[in-house]
Structure 1
């Protein structure tokens, strides 16, 4: 399955065969991404750790409990990031949590905004979700702009929401529902 943006990027479900490329991307960007991520065991950033993470992503995708995609450049097929719908809850909620990261060298080109738009289309059509939410630290202005460009609304502030880089951080909660993609009835 490919989800393609004709301008620049495409999304493809992450596979174990992407482990080497993902490991390289994560290693190269470790210091750039660390202020926005939990502190993980050193084994997480090894090739074995990334392979295990991708094997779990494949199982989650097959089960419909999570959808992890690689963000690839159209012209070179280079992996430049990852975007995922995780913590999928069905039943009365039909919700997922959105998370993403992009290679520092590719920031500022609109790729993350494009990827969010593509994954939202997948979420509301193929995955048949009703709501997608994201939590962002209030000082992460670029990520807030990405969400706002994609029609997410700010729902509130959750205090001490996630332990990021060793500290319990507040997060602004953003969400978008399928109703936000539909035209109002006349």
Structure 2
């Protein structure tokens, strides 16, 4: 999928080295925001395994993982994922993401999240996407708000991050919310007026 500045695509096994390099460059930056990983995670074999597991998740309709790349030069900036997909009456997924520290603050993550939401609701036919963000992670809280997520509450000691059970602000968005966010009432009125003319 293409957005204004980004390309979102599934990882291939050949990209494991590039993903590893990005992870290693951002290890110190991401460490306080992620679970403790196994010793082999930050190795080429570990990243190949991660990509292969992502592919299995896609085949089983359990997860969709996307590389975030700049359209202009193909540079890998990060990763965004819809995981824990539940079908049946729920039609829900969890959203997770990370972005290269050097590219933070430029709107790339919000743009990528909006692209992933488009895929979630139009390609994968989900009804709901949810995410959890630690209260101290101000940049990620801004991404959620700018992307149109609804703040649903605080889950205490929700996830074990870097060895500590951390509270998370819970966010949700349904397909109906997404339609309203994509096409606010003023844009709908203008579009209808243009068609009528």
Same fold (TM over 0.5): yes
Structure 1's unaligned 5+ residue stretches are none
CA–CA separation in structure 1 for the residues paired with 2:154 and 2:11: 31
Return the offset for 1:61: 1.0
Large movers: runs of 4+ above 3 Å: none
Show CA shifts across 1:121-168 (max 9, x none): 000010000000000000111101001101101101111100001100
Structure 1 counterpart of 2:11, from 11, 14, 26: 14
Superposition map of 1:31-180 within 5 A: 31-180=28-177
TM-score by length of 2: 0.90
Structure 2's unaligned 5+ residue stretches are 186-197
Alignment of 1:5 onto 2:13: no
- Tell which structure's C-alpha radius of gyration is larger: 2
TM-score by length of 1: 0.95
Tell me whether 12-21 or 93-102 shows the greater mean CA deviation: 12-21
Q: Please report the RMSD computed on the Cα atoms of aligned residues, expressed in angstroms.
A: 1.0
Larger helix share, 1 or 2? 2
User: How many residue pairs were aligned?
Assistant: 181
